[in-house]
Chain A
Amino acid sequence: MAAAPSTYELVRRTPPLLYRWLGDRIFAVLVTLFGLTVMGLAISLAVVLFWEGSEAIKTFGFWGFLIGTTWDPALTLTFGTFPFLIGTVVTSVAALALSFFPALAVAIFSAEYAPRWLSHIIDALVDLIAAVPSVVVGIWGIFVLAPWLRDHFYLPLYMWAAESRPELLPIIGSPMGYGMTTAVIVLALMIVPFTAALSRDAIRLVPKAQREACWALGATRWEVIRMAVLPYARSGIVAGAILSFGRAIGETMAVAMLIGNKNTLPFDLFGPAATMPSVIINEFREAVENLHLSSLMAIGFYLFLISLIVNLLAAYIQRKMMVAGGRSA
């Protein structure tokens, strides 16, 4: 009787199985396909938006549509998106400015100061807040925040200005509660979790060696954070802020519910305004004229471009600010 082949022989003699050979190739084809699909989706989205918006862009010009200040879908059918561009930029920048330091403080507290059990709770709450649908935030803003701000903040300030500084009234604007400032505050609340979560992760990635080197120099806790932790984490923190900025630019529902929706410049502090997403969601159902619908699509196209630029900028800044030597130092 011949001896049974040893494992050594078996492993080397057995030819590759067909299903392994085939499986490898099928898997490669599948992942390549899905990978390319994502690229295709992004490109076709841009193409469709441009195509559908081309009538408006042709009529008013590529830059003319962007800087046109009249949005009149009723009488003259003139469309320019400049008021909404301003509204978008101002609300997003203000929301980012308002939320950045509080969010960073949350991140620092959770990553550096809080005991482990508390930082788990904070992290869970931050994630929870990020997951609240924006329409829910919007309805809370309409029924709770906006009236509260009106009664305790806008109206008193307005009354004070009306009495002693009437020249400020045009800057302050209507104190009814639904307008730019309310939208900015809600937007800031909505992006805090994003900045906080991304900054927190960046702070946690700072190597222990960097912190200890700073401690060993006789630094206090705050000095370690200022000197070793934040500089090392800066690229992640800034990238987090820019991604939050991107969210603020695209945020639609809560803003549309709270900003008061006024289509003409000038906007004032408390009074109504509009943003690019808010005008799309408010008007797409009533856009019966081809040029009107095409103009909304064109706004979508520009919004797409702006988001693209913001994302590229985030990636660029992150790479620029990345600490030399990367994560290993």
Chain B
Amino acid sequence: MHNQESTAAGRHAETAPAATDIRMETRKLSVFYGDTAGVNDVSLSMYNKKITALIGPSGCGKTTFLRSLNRMHDLTRGARVTGQALLDGSDIYAPKVDPVTVRRRVGMVFQKPTPFPTMSIYDNVVAGLKLVGIRNRAVLDEVAEKALRGAALWDEVKDRLKAPGGGISGGQQQRLSIARALAVEPEVLLMDEPTSSLDPQSTIRIEELMSELKKQVTIVIVTHNMQQASRISDYTAFFYVGDLVEFNPTAKMFTNPNQKRTEEYITGRFG
């Protein structure tokens, strides 16, 4: 049965509009923890300046898949990735590719806001720039403002940029994390359940923000919340026990899914 589903998923290219170009793409990508596969042979395209949502029940491999897109698994003992992940056509897992460079191009926002608590708001935003050696104050100021505006946080913090990054509200901290990721102008932004630890109001702000952000950046978001996926994403991928079951434009996915299991999941029959 899984085989059938995988094959169906492999045909997603037929249903996707060919006009949109592909920013990132995986080919038969698998992630193993020891001998167990967390993600099985997933081939998935992420279109330029679109939001791709990854949905599925807990433990289905969606976060594992997301973390393979900027080589975060390199940091986990015993984790192993096979297959390809292409960023603008070149494989980020090819030998001689420096994961540090990959992570500069593919930014990430986590489930919990992760400002560096000992740094000021300002220093948090420019942390990534300082890493690449940019010290010019004028440049940093400009980027900080741009990133904070981009993350819809500027108006709230412009008068206290020197305040500690841990001293603002949870929703603001998450937007600060987004600003920090945006400051280095990544091509792809990975978001791992970015609103699951936030209150509804902050969640709405971040969802609005994402629709703004996709004008500049390709977004891949993992979410537990199917309403969120249907509200904000252009494409949706449904994962189940490590397999990609279905990938389709969000509108189609939530009205007329190809797979029975997708329908069961999005109508709440399991998950």
Which chain A residues have a beta carbon within 8 Å of chain B's beta carbons? 116, 209-220, 223, 227-228, 231-232, 234, 323-325, 329
The distance in angstroms between the C-alpha atoms of A213 and B180, with both chains bound, is 10
**Min C-beta distance of B256 to chain A, whole Å:** 36
The distance in angstroms between the C-alpha atoms of A315 and B5, with both chains bound, is 60
Q: Interface readout for B89-110 with A: 1 if CB under 8 Å, 0 if not?
A: 0000000000011011001101
> Are B104 and A218 within 8 A (Cβ)?
yes
> Are A215 and B75 within 8 A (Cβ)?
yes
Q: For the complex, is B233 an interface residue (Cβ under 8 Å from A)?
A: no
The distance in angstroms between the C-alpha atoms of A329 and B164, with both chains bound, is 13
A-B contact pairs, 11 of them (CB 8 A): A116-B77, A213-B110, A216-B107, A217-B181, A217-B184, A218-B100, A218-B131, A219-B100, A220-B100, A234-B118, A323-B118
Q: Interface readout for B174-188 with A: 1 if CB under 8 Å, 0 if not?
A: 000100110010000
Given known A213-B110, A218-B101, contact A324–B184 (CB-CB < 8 A): no
B164 neighbours in A (Cβ, 8 Å)? 324
> Are B181 and A216 within 8 A (Cβ)?
yes
A213 neighbours in B (Cβ, 8 Å)? 108, 110, 114, 116, 177, 180
Of A116, A209, A220, which contacts B114 at CB under 8 A? A209
A234 neighbours in B (Cβ, 8 Å)? 118
**Min C-beta distance of B242 to chain A, whole Å:** 22
> Are A232 and B181 within 8 A (Cβ)?
no
Q: For the complex, is B166 an interface residue (Cβ under 8 Å from A)?
A: yes
**Min C-beta distance of B97 to chain A, whole Å:** 13
Of A219, A223, A227, A324, which contacts B117 at CB under 8 A? A324
Of all chain B residues, the one with the shortest Cβ separation from A217 is B128
**Min C-beta distance of A280 to chain B, whole Å:** 42
> Are B103 and A215 within 8 A (Cβ)?
yes
The distance in angstroms between the C-alpha atoms of A329 and B70, with both chains bound, is 23
B residues 61-75 with Cβ under 8 Å of A? Answer: 70, 72, 75
> Are A232 and B118 within 8 A (Cβ)?
yes
A325 neighbours in B (Cβ, 8 Å)? 117, 166
B114 neighbours in A (Cβ, 8 Å)? 209-210, 212-213, 329
Given known A217-B180, A218-B101, contact A232–B117 (CB-CB < 8 A): yes
The distance in angstroms between the C-alpha atoms of A324 and B128, with both chains bound, is 22
A323 neighbours in B (Cβ, 8 Å)? 117-118, 166
The distance in angstroms between the C-alpha atoms of A3 and B19, with both chains bound, is 79
> Are A218 and B132 within 8 A (Cβ)?
yes
Q: For the complex, is B214 an interface residue (Cβ under 8 Å from A)?
A: no
Q: Interface readout for B104-146 with A: 1 if CB under 8 Å, 0 if not?
A: 1001101010111111000000011001100000000000000
**Min C-beta distance of A242 to chain B, whole Å:** 19
The distance in angstroms between the C-alpha atoms of A232 and B115, with both chains bound, is 11
> Are A218 and B117 within 8 A (Cβ)?
no
Of A212, A223, A329, which contacts B72 at CB under 8 A? A212
A211 neighbours in B (Cβ, 8 Å)? 75
The distance in angstroms between the C-alpha atoms of A323 and B112, with both chains bound, is 16
The distance in angstroms between the C-alpha atoms of A252 and B119, with both chains bound, is 41
> Are A231 and B116 within 8 A (Cβ)?
yes
The distance in angstroms between the C-alpha atoms of A223 and B100, with both chains bound, is 11
A210 neighbours in B (Cβ, 8 Å)? 114, 116
Given known A212-B75, A213-B177, contact A218–B128 (CB-CB < 8 A): yes
**Min C-beta distance of B113 to chain A, whole Å:** 8
Q: For the complex, is B167 an interface residue (Cβ under 8 Å from A)?
A: yes
Given known A210-B114, A232-B117, A324-B117, contact A217–B103 (CB-CB < 8 A): yes
Between B75, B114, B119, the greatest number of chain A beta carbons within 10 A of the residue's beta carbon is seen for B114
Given known A209-B110, A323-B118, contact A217–B127 (CB-CB < 8 A): yes
A223 neighbours in B (Cβ, 8 Å)? 131
Of all chain B residues, the one with the shortest Cβ separation from A213 is B114
> Are B118 and A219 within 8 A (Cβ)?
no
**Min C-beta distance of B75 to chain A, whole Å:** 6
Of all chain A residues, the one with the shortest Cβ separation from B132 is A218
> Are A227 and B167 within 8 A (Cβ)?
no
CB-based closest 4 A-B pairs: A218-B104, A213-B114, A216-B108, A324-B166
The distance in angstroms between the C-alpha atoms of A116 and B77, with both chains bound, is 10
A216 neighbours in B (Cβ, 8 Å)? 70, 72, 103, 107-108, 110, 181
B104 neighbours in A (Cβ, 8 Å)? 217-218
Of all chain B residues, the one with the shortest Cβ separation from A209 is B114
Of all chain A residues, the one with the shortest Cβ separation from B67 is A212
The distance in angstroms between the C-alpha atoms of A231 and B118, with both chains bound, is 6
Of all chain A residues, the one with the shortest Cβ separation from B109 is A216
Of all chain B residues, the one with the shortest Cβ separation from A233 is B118
> Are B117 and A212 within 8 A (Cβ)?
no
Given known A209-B110, A217-B181, A217-B184, contact A329–B117 (CB-CB < 8 A): yes
**Min C-beta distance of A221 to chain B, whole Å:** 9
**Min C-beta distance of B239 to chain A, whole Å:** 21
Of all chain B residues, the one with the shortest Cβ separation from A219 is B131
The distance in angstroms between the C-alpha atoms of A117 and B223, with both chains bound, is 37
The distance in angstroms between the C-alpha atoms of A231 and B184, with both chains bound, is 22
The distance in angstroms between the C-alpha atoms of A182 and B166, with both chains bound, is 45
> Are B116 and A227 within 8 A (Cβ)?
yes
Between B77, B104, B117, B181, the greatest number of chain A beta carbons within 10 A of the residue's beta carbon is seen for B117
